[in-house]
Structure 1
């Protein structure tokens, strides 16, 4: 979290002061004001902008939010926080924490799935008819809709066998394993093209190792985003509290 900004919310600051306190350049401060990351600064009698400590808090909060959810979402969230009640603002900030926690849990589940798949891959495979699954059974096991499996099939991610007489889909062990990986990666937030690339790498040497590396990288990114949000905590609090006194925010 940033160091406390000296002075009361009524203290007037120059652009250069705000830049020094927030860690942005003078031009960045002006640009972020134009983008409404911070409220418009009133002009003093000599025509210069007059900022307050709240503007510094907003800029610091933006830095943390941008690291956690991206600059576009951070700009929108800060604009909303300046007009919401304490309860609404707290709910919005908590939702970001929940989202990051969910992404982390999904990445960990993907890692666990890959570990189980690797263990199975090292076991001699003797596939029996009873090992196969119908599309309904596999969808239920993965917690997805049958239509999702059909979509993955269209995208070339999970290719089932077929019972020719009824054209019913039948998934053997290799297809089931592929479906588990796809489900884990999609649950972690990977796009279809990214999943296709990862699935292609599994057929190469050390494909599982590369996929595991990608998931470790994903976890590191989530941790960095979480820390950025935590560092913004005190500044977010200042922004939220300033919304209860509109005259302070300018």
Structure 2
């Protein structure tokens, strides 16, 4: 039976665990002290990073936060444990990004950044070398996904779309650390300096919508993905967990564990 690790055990982690047969994996989840979630029979918890490393998981999936990436992932990579990161916005910190990249290179442990809620990243990587390339990424979600943010700004998107933000990927990652990992996935693929990010609360959208518009000497492109939100968290797309499952399955196949 393969041992796999998780950082956090919320909506995404539950979906990941449920995607694998219960008798095929043993999961160890790193959680905050005092957390008491209901757990499947094949999931145990630890509250210290050393305990997770001692369990020697074949792979760890981070599905918690940018702060969790900074706190735990460098040590996992140093220990030679392959790690899949959901909170890609953590790479907006150049010092942390360099630390993660160096740890992966030095230990040989794979650092995997899945596509998450997006598609078309192969196109963006292809045009990244073109100096004239320009990319606009727009996150368009129903007002329910931005209820707290709208209330804080004293705005209502009950009838018309409301623009909440426009700026750089790094600014977006810091302002919305739990909601705009997709924006930084675009930035990593195309080049941070080429991307503008917009955030829109739109009552007319039916799901979590990602719009990517590209112009370069290679041509123009437009991608639009309308993802069904997670039933238990409207800010997260169902596709995010599916992407992590696909990345984990591929990594296990490469390691001969699955």
TM-score category (smaller protein): under 0.3
**Larger gyration radius, structure 1 or structure 2:** 1
* Structure (1 or 2) with the greater helix fraction: 1
Q: Which has the higher contact order (CA 8 A, sep 6+)?
A: 1
* Structure (1 or 2) with the greater strand fraction: 2
In the superposition, the TM-score normalised over structure 1's length comes to 0.24
